[in-house]
Structure 1
């Protein structure tokens, strides 16, 4: 029995190492074929993304919330954003919009929010479609938003670090311009990724989300990444996941698809806040009563 166990263990290890050293399967009619292994592409991509000085990101998040137990109708929400990010000194300019549609609603989606934001090391300037007035945030809110912005914007590098333990589970393909990496995780594995993502946040962000995370789990996650063959930058990422949340003793399901497209790698030299913003901004009142 021990001999059989050793053989099976060795076979499993060989399969795992073999998957990491396999070259990408070409899609139809691929002329620019690469012989790099998945492990080589992974390391090169980690290096390229970690050395970014600036990047542009276009993101679209679509999510449908439904409560199967209560039989209530579903609610669709879509968020789009366009972001310029400079790493050092940290600065960001972002425009975003949120739209919502419910089963009870007739016609088109209802615009919920439209926001423009500048983030610097010193200040955060924010304007939405409700107030139509530039505001600066109190220090405690500004610090949280800066950390949250960096967490989201550095997604490719963070994701690669998180998914490295599952390297042998990736599907590895290629077309003429990109390597295509795809991964499917079950609930336990996806929940582990969720907890590890929280661990990458600072203490303040962790405490902010800790209570909500206890009532949240991921039942499935599908990740797909497109990596440029020449620069090894992540040019596109798509994450599909189903999240289950407990609310008032009932389970609410959230089907979510997030697509991020990255461009202008190291092309954005600086982000300047316009004088009309700094000169007209008023300080927002703190929700903490300070």
Structure 2
């Protein structure tokens, strides 16, 4: 039995080393081929992203939710955002819009919000299409928003660190310009990845999620990343997920798709909040009461 165990351990080690040292399979029309291994691409990409001084991000997020009680039918919510981010000092400018479709609305799209936001180390300024005036955010809300911004700013660097234990599960390809990394996880592995991601959140952000959802699990996750061959920056990332949660005592299933694009690496020198924003902003009432 001991001898058999050693054989299994040796085989597992060989498989692990083989996955980390494999080179990218070229697409049919690829002419510019690289011999870098998957592990080398991961290492170089993490280093490049950790040294970012600024970046621009475009994101499209679609969530299709279905209440198992079937009382409310299916709800389709879509969010688009455009973000400029400077790392030091942490400053951000973002515009976003949220739209919703529900079965009760016969498939009609309902615009929920359009938001413009500046985030600095001292203040957060927001304006939406309903209030149509600039406001400063109360401290308790500001902490949550800043935690969320920090999570966003560390992507895809944090994403790569979190995914490194799953190197053996990746497929690894390349075209002329990019390395193409794909990962598909189901059941226990997918749920473990979700729990690890939530553990990376700040305490305030974790508390807000726990308060809104009693239980959450991930049954399937598919990820595809394009990493530039020259800069090693992640230029595009697509994620689809199947999520199950309990919310207000009801079981809800969510199919989520997120498509992100990254550009203007180290090109944004600074983000300045316009004087008309700082001078006209009023303090927002706290949603948490006094």
CA distance in 1, matches of 2:213, 2:148: 16
- The alignment partner of 2:104 has SS state of coil
User: Which stretch shifts more, 258-267 or 280-289?
Assistant: 280-289
Matches for 1:183-222 after TM superposition, within 5 Å: 183-212=183-212, 214-222=214-222
From the superposition, tell whether residues 144 and 30 of structure 1 become closer, same or farther in structure 2 (CA, over 3 Å).
Answer: same
Q: Which residue of 1 aligns with 2:77?
A: 77
Matches for 1:132-151 after TM superposition, within 5 Å: 132-151=132-151
From the superposition, tell whether residues 90 and 288 of structure 1 become closer, same or farther in structure 2 (CA, over 3 Å).
Answer: same
Q: Which residue of 1 aligns with 2:52?
A: 52
User: Which stretch shifts more, 66-75 or 240-249?
Assistant: 66-75
1:214: Cα distance to partner?
A: 4.2
Q: Which residue of 2 aligns with 1:244?
A: 244
1:206: Cα distance to partner?
A: 2.0
| TM-score, reference length from structure 1 | 0.96
Contact 2:147–2:204 under 8 Å retained in 1: no
After superposition, the CA RMSD in angstroms is 1.4
CA distance in 2, matches of 1:235, 1:60: 15
Q: Which residue of 2 aligns with 1:258?
A: 258
1:71: Cα distance to partner?
A: 6.2
Q: Which residue of 2 aligns with 1:98?
A: 98
From the superposition, tell whether residues 141 and 211 of structure 1 become closer, same or farther in structure 2 (CA, over 3 Å).
Answer: closer
- State the Cα deviation string for residues 33-57 of structure 1 (Å, max 9, x = none): 0000000000000000000000000
- The alignment partner of 1:125 has SS state of strand
User: Which stretch shifts more, 255-264 or 189-198?
Assistant: 189-198
Query: Is 1:111 matched up with 2:123?
Result: no
From the superposition, tell whether residues 95 and 272 of structure 1 become closer, same or farther in structure 2 (CA, over 3 Å).
Answer: same
| TM-score, reference length from structure 2 | 0.96
- State the Cα deviation string for residues 88-118 of structure 1 (Å, max 9, x = none): 0110000000000111213641111000000
CA distance in 2, matches of 1:264, 1:194: 29
Paired residues, number? 290
Contact 2:55–2:84 under 8 Å retained in 1: yes
Matches for 1:58-69 after TM superposition, within 5 Å: 58-69=58-69
User: Which stretch shifts more, 239-248 or 264-273?
Assistant: 239-248
Unaligned runs of 5+ in 2: none
Q: Which residue of 1 aligns with 2:26?
A: 26
CA distance in 2, matches of 1:213, 1:44: 37
Q: Which residue of 1 aligns with 2:289?
A: 289
